[in-house]
Structure 1
């Protein structure tokens, strides 16, 4: 890494696109297994008491992972680590990385011990509605205590991912969640061999989470060692550069994890509604996480090291160009994904989850939540890109301010909309709050960096919307063909219809994107062709 690199915006854009592709492919594999996992959970647990208890319990360490792991420490650490590395002092950068990892282990261990002791208070705060069912409350507390140590492993994994991303390694960090999904699936089936009790299976699933966390951390260590970063190296817990990380850390807790905090607010309010409401929101959110994780998070993860290099080198014109490229790319992919999920939400939910304990009513109510969540997909994805710019510039105040407004908006809208729309109102509140967050951040970024070229982003976005509308019309027509309503047996109707509809939608969108001359289409296809030529 050297200062010359930061003056090559075209090179940075290609690197961002390539890195996003690697992360996206790895995340696709992980998300696929994640859906297999959720299909297993839906089949074994449905949307009943154990499902609500596990989902609420798992949200607590998962939120803390977002806050203290990839949501704050990783984002606060990357710009500082990049600055040390870009100066060419490799040994100093390694000392910083090892010290940060050891310090994080100590901090997370303390938080975990406190969390285990305070689990009853935490659960009563997060899911107050569970108090009316003592059995559900007791199970949620037990599961929370069992899964709290997951925070130690996954928080450390998140920092490892940030270090490896700065060093140009994206594949291993992105593929790590596959191990968690495999571990959870195996745990459910393993527990089922010993007992038919859903409670026992739920406890087994919590054990699978812990094993998955250990496996994810173990995967990162050889790749860190290959770059000269070894846990076992003698090093203190403190490095002078950690002071800069500390200055950035606390504000990023809210700024980076606003989506997860809003989801947690939804869980809190959903616990006051009918049984199953927490589960409906969870399954719908999992479907939204598919394009959000593969595309939105992939681009955001890929772009932060590039933005940090450009900010550290004072290349603000290059930074603005990289940001515009990332925004156009994420909107080009998430807008058609959003439209596709809206059109196909009912058959997709039915195909993935409707079996065993997950009945038609659960499908209908999950589909309703999915509709309201997916309306905000473009905003969820875009916020991650804008946040990356502020953090690359070491501006933590702005994301905190907008995140605070967003969380307050979500809470108020959730309480207002949950009366007429039940759990669907909570999903809609999350989407609207994210749109408010994005609007505020874009306005403030424009004031901070007037040199950003918004016109190409807007033109690309409008063209993408036009191509997505054409795609939606074709997909709707395909779903209404008589062959899918009368001729095919029920067991194969849904999968065949969805495969044909998605394949046709992708083909139509591709033709429309090429005809409308959307530049991101050429970039994505170029990445695909280069990947195929190397294989």
Structure 2
């Protein structure tokens, strides 16, 4: 009986469509890289917890990193998934790709400089709205850290562009290289002896992102043969489609991106230590979410782009629905296992040095609350890739508005009662509401025109 069952299983696996095999293989590779990368990040968090514990320094660092990367990451989040289908369509058009890449690099580098400079110039106003309940010493440290972390906001765009180039060719090494900033920061924390120094946090993070950007550029150049020297111009015919798509996506993207500073606002009003507690728990959650949601989204996007380029819309939607439900089930299983292991995970990662047993209990409680979002994040990321590829921007904006309303309402009701745990619970409710909306919209015919095949992106 066992031999017969194994034979049936083998035949079914062999009969699986090539697209599903490619998706599964890509997701497995990305999951491995995420595990290695996030594992490095976990060691970094262990070092930060050992050196600084839960207190004003970590509050200042996490707030500064959030502020300096918020606007760049908002743009990057929308730009990255738009660039992959575009680069897929230009695989055999090297001259067009060279021109567009050079102009994209130049424009994005200038944009990074402008956004970072505006943040520094407007610090008094930003501090009033985001850190008014923090101590004066913590706000001062945050300003120093903002200046030291300025390269992060500038180089984030370069990292996004080169990562999209690799993903378009189904090279997932960019996921592994996301561990470079954490590795460099870990080295700085271990080398600098002064326990209260901000220097390792500033130099380690900024230099780490610079090294990551350099390595990505070298590998991307070897993958597609493009040097992509920055140039300030808009002569490429692909700008029209790109700017239109980004502007449409930015409506929902800005709404969703507001969630992070809103969380920081509510956590700051809880008092010192809340931002750090939430941050430690959230970083452990990103390891789990990254291994599933990030892996499947990066693996499936190039394949969905190929299906839509061939105008096989039914197969694309069927593939997305199947993988969304599969990832929902895997996410639920992962959440249950993580809930049981949560105390041990937090103690292993953080409980040493300045990070006490009481700190571990607080982080464990917040982490367990955050597990509610895991299954819905796993499933939702798949549908997002399809909606962007189909140009269903109206649906994405509608879902973003609903998600933000649920999140903001949850913060207002739950943060005063449960502190950091309430903020995390509101995130879980938001993710669940968003996933339900994705499934409802997925079953409805698209109200937007289908995305043009990648080789015709220059026309609207």
Is this a same-fold pair by TM over 0.5?
Answer: yes
Counterpart CA distance in 2 for 1:238 and 1:11 is 38
**1:355 maps onto 2:352 in alignment:** yes
**1:296 maps onto 2:293 in alignment:** yes
Moved over 6 A (4+): none
Can you list the C-alpha shifts for 1:191-241, whole angstroms capped at 9, x where unaligned?
A: 22xx34x1x2x2321111110111011111222222121123879554121
Counterpart CA distance in 2 for 1:92 and 1:375 is 45
Alignment of 1:49-448 (within 5 A): 49-69=56-76, 71-85=77-91, 88-130=92-134, 133-171=135-173, 173-192=174-193, 195-196=194-195, 198=196, 200=197, 202-226=198-222, 227-232=224-229, 236-253=233-250, 255=252, 261-448=258-445
Can you list the C-alpha shifts for 1:434-483, whole angstroms capped at 9, x where unaligned?
A: 11111112211211269xxxxxxxxxxxxxxxxxxxxxxxxxxxxxxxxx
Counterpart CA distance in 1 for 2:205 and 2:366 is 26
CA contact (8 A) 1:417 1:425 kept: yes
CA contact (8 A) 1:164 1:170 kept: yes
Can you list the C-alpha shifts for 1:411-432, whole angstroms capped at 9, x where unaligned?
A: 1111111222121111000110
Counterpart CA distance in 1 for 2:69 and 2:39 is 20
Aligned-residue CA RMSD (Å)? 2.2
Shift of 1:168: 2.3
Alignment partner of 1:98: what SS?
helix
Shift of 1:119: 2.9
Q: Structure 1 residue aligned with 2:28, among 21, 24, 44?
A: 21
Can you list the C-alpha shifts for 1:358-384, whole angstroms capped at 9, x where unaligned?
A: 112211111111111111111122222
Alignment of 1:454-533 (within 5 A): none
Residue ranges of structure 1 left out of the alignment (5+ in a row) = 1-7, 451-535
Q: Structure 2 residue aligned with 1:30, among 34, 37, 55?
A: 37
CA contact (8 A) 1:102 1:237 kept: no
Counterpart CA distance in 2 for 1:117 and 1:26 is 38
CA contact (8 A) 1:27 1:175 kept: yes
Q: Structure 1 128/404 Cα, relative in aligned 2: closer, same or farther at 3 Å?
A: farther
Counterpart CA distance in 2 for 1:397 and 1:141 is 38
Shift of 1:97: 2.6
**Aligned positions, number:** 432
CA contact (8 A) 1:66 1:257 kept: no
Give the TM-score taking structure 2 as reference length: 0.88
Counterpart CA distance in 1 for 2:111 and 2:72 is 12
Counterpart CA distance in 2 for 1:405 and 1:326 is 24
Counterpart CA distance in 2 for 1:9 and 1:91 is 37
Instruction: Name the structure, 1 or 2, with higher relative contact order (CA <8 Å, separation 6+).
Output: 2
Counterpart CA distance in 1 for 2:256 and 2:377 is 7
CA contact (8 A) 1:46 1:357 kept: yes
Counterpart CA distance in 2 for 1:128 and 1:394 is 40
CA contact (8 A) 1:410 1:430 kept: yes
Shift of 1:9: 9.4
CA contact (8 A) 2:105 2:230 kept: no
Shift of 1:176: 1.2
Give the TM-score taking structure 1 as reference length: 0.76
CA contact (8 A) 1:292 1:381 kept: yes
CA contact (8 A) 1:102 1:231 kept: no
Alignment partner of 1:271: what SS?
helix
